[in-house]
Amino acid sequence: MAATGDELRHAMRRFPSGVCVVTVDDEGTALGTTVGSLVSLSLEPALVGISIGHQSSIHLPLRRARRFAVSVLGGDQAHVAQHFARSMPPLAQWVGIERRDGDGPEPLVGDALAWLTCEVLSEHEAGDHTVFVGAVERIELGRSREALVYLESEYRSL
């Protein structure tokens, strides 16, 4: 018998995941969402993957833009993760969130641990999510400090 989604959710809560904000420029509107699914896929070429739910408000804009940026959050940025954790309606308000510009049109969360700017190389349907493979065009490192992780339904500094 196959596992249920609830069973998987409960099991995965025991596995810490790094927290980042994925941003997209949707025809001049800056959108962002919190994800714990960032994964390094390849070093040569530099590729990362993110998993975005079909119901997420950023899913269609990401498909249209064919580009995204990732801001890897520090342990003191739980408020940023909570701000962008909403999936409906699209979150375009950056009130109270430090923002910085990068080389591309995608906004970046200020004071993050690292920033990656990516072009969508491919998409792969995976149940109720799409895995977007991004070719990393640019990487910037922020200051070194503890990372923000999600474990047992809580944001934690590690």
Say whether domain 5-157 belongs to CATH 2.30.110.10: yes
Overall pTM surpassing 0.85 (yes/no): yes
The structure tokens listed for 6 are: 């609830």
108 in Cβ contact with 66 (< 8 Å): no
142 in Cβ contact with 106 (< 8 Å): no
Nearest to residue 60, comparing CAs of 100, 101, 31? 31
Per-residue pLDDT of the chain (158 residues; tens, 9 = 90+): 889 989 998 898 889 999 999 999 999 999 999 999 999 999 999 999 999 999 998 999 999 999 999 999 999 999 999 999 975 555 667 888 999 988 899 999 999 999 999 999 999 999 999 999 999 999 999 999 999 999 999 999 99
Report residue 37: phi and psi, to 5°.
Answer: -110, 10
150 in Cβ contact with 16 (< 8 Å): yes
